[in-house]
Amino acid sequence: MRAAWRQYAIVTGNYWAFTLTDGALRMLVVLHFHQLGYGALQIALLFLFYEIFGVVTNLVGGWLGARIGLNRTMNIGLALQVVALSMLAVPAAWLAVPWVMAAQALSGIAKDLNKMSAKSSIKLLVADGAQGTLYRWVAALTGSKNALKGVGFFLGGALLAVLGFRGSVLAMAGALALVWIGSLCWLRQDLGRASAKPKFRQVWSSSRAINVLSAARMFLFGARDVWFVVALPVFLAGVLGWDHWRVGGFLAAWVIGYGVVQALAPRFTARAGTAIPGGGTAASWAALLAIVPAGIAMALGAGVAPGPVLVAGLAVFGIVFAINSAVHSYLIVSHARADGVSLDVGFYYMANALGRLLGTVLSGWVYQVAGLQACLWISAGLVAMAALLAKAMPSIDRPITATP
């Protein structure tokens, strides 16, 4: 158990460090290129390859992790992020759209290799049948990661103001390179390698539970990103006139709070009557979530002051979405096969990346064409689809018998 904790700590530390740079880089790109006069759709397109390559990476990365080990896929992800950050440290005249998109493509590959490796490894570090422990560990890893992503948002805004764009990416590349060297030395060499090397066709899941959950995840994360990724920060900066510090600080506080709630999700679901969540739990929380963006859209349409509406609405959305995400993250790890776990987790996060891709493109395009309210209505519709799909999940909900 001590060895498992040590490996969990290394995996979590790697994931934390990567997440800080990922969150900071996203905020740096949005704010820097908005400052240069790029429109919402143009900024969204900068992330297009980031999301497209995330789809491919999760599919191929799950198969790769089962063949060569999750330690190697995690270390490859860290190294690629260092390269991506270094690519953006070129002179300002080189930062044309194709170059930035290429760097973002590498960053997308790196992010999803790292994420798939971290989530898959937890299945292997928890004893069989210890579902309560698994739920807590997954929630803690996912929640702490998202809290640090929020810190990364703030860090991105702060670094841009203090060091400028080039200085910021150079500083992050240097820090992450040190983490990569430590991971090469200390992460277990055989982590997650399947007993028999899987064929590539095995990346497609044959499990109904995995397929339904993956589809629900796609709609869930599309619903978040359709208004959060591009539309919201551009609205805050362009319509409400918030400066970089305020936009970065607000979004950072939101994501930090979201991460804290996500880490505490086992307590929320236990109080709702479910110690170990299943498909019914995911469907109920998604149905509740669909009400939130619809309510924000109606308030904005009624002429209520947008600042207070967005601050309050985002707080509620963050709490309910965090619980949704934590339940989903547990369910995929729980349902994934033990031997070659990264195959199922990779397939699932491929659907997650598809949802992010859908949401990112829609966020820029819909905001530019129809505004923030339209993005919110689309978000509500996508969450409703996620709820319907989650309802079709095999239910393993159980009454509380002990604290998970």
Going from N- to C-terminal start, the domains of the chain cover 2-391
Specify whether the CB–CB gap between 383 and 289 falls below 8 A: yes
| DSSP structure class, residue 394 | P
Question: pLDDT tens track of the chain, all 404 residues?
Answer: 566 667 777 877 888 888 888 888 888 888 788 777 777 667 777 777 777 787 788 777 777 777 777 788 888 989 999 999 999 888 877 777 788 888 888 888 888 888 777 777 776 666 666 677 777 877 887 788 778 887 887 788 788 888 888 888 999 999 999 999 988 888 766 665 555 565 656 556 667 778 888 899 999 999 999 988 788 888 888 888 888 678 777 877 888 888 889 888 888 888 766 667 778 888 999 999 999 999 999 999 999 999 999 999 999 999 999 999 888 888 887 777 666 566 777 788 888 888 988 888 888 889 888 889 999 999 999 999 999 998 887 654 333 333 33
CB-count burial class (<10 Å; 0-12, 13-18, 19+) for 279: buried
C-alpha to C-alpha distance for 257 and 197, rounded to whole angstroms: 41
pLDDT given at position 376: 95
Start-to-end CA span in the chain (Å)? 18
**Angle, CA of 260, 263 and 264, to the nearest 5°:** 90
* Nearest alpha-carbon partner for 140 in 282, 399, 283, 333: 333
C-alpha to C-alpha distance for 270 and 26, rounded to whole angstroms: 34
Cβ neighbors of 403 (< 8 A, separation 6 or more) are: 132, 270, 275
| CA-derived radius of gyration, the chain | 20
**Angle, CA of 214, 200 and 59, to the nearest 5°:** 35
| CA-to-CA separations, 178 to 109, 225, 323, in angstroms, rounded | 20, 31, 33
> Hey, what's the torsion of the CAs at 348, 62, 120, 183, to 10 degrees?
-140
**Angle, CA of 379, 383 and 387, to the nearest 5°:** 170
Per DSSP, the three-state class of 303 is coil
Specify whether the CB–CB gap between 144 and 263 falls below 8 A: yes
Cβ neighbors of 324 (< 8 A, separation 6 or more) are: 220, 282, 285, 286, 289, 386
pTM for the full predicted model: 0.75
CATH architecture observed for domain 2-391: Up-down Bundle (1.20)
> Hey, what's the torsion of the CAs at 160, 165, 168, 170, to 10 degrees?
180
Q: What is the DSSP string of 147-180?
A: HHHHHHHHHHHHHHHHTHHHHHHHHHHHHHHHHH
**Token pair of 262 as six digits:** 């996500």
* Nearest alpha-carbon partner for 349 in 205, 218, 173, 222: 218
Specify whether the CB–CB gap between 24 and 80 falls below 8 A: no
**Token pair of 1 as six digits:** 């158990």
CB-count burial class (<10 Å; 0-12, 13-18, 19+) for 315: middle
| CA-to-CA separations, 60 to 12, 57, 173, 386, in angstroms, rounded | 22, 5, 25, 25
Per DSSP, the three-state class of 62 is helix
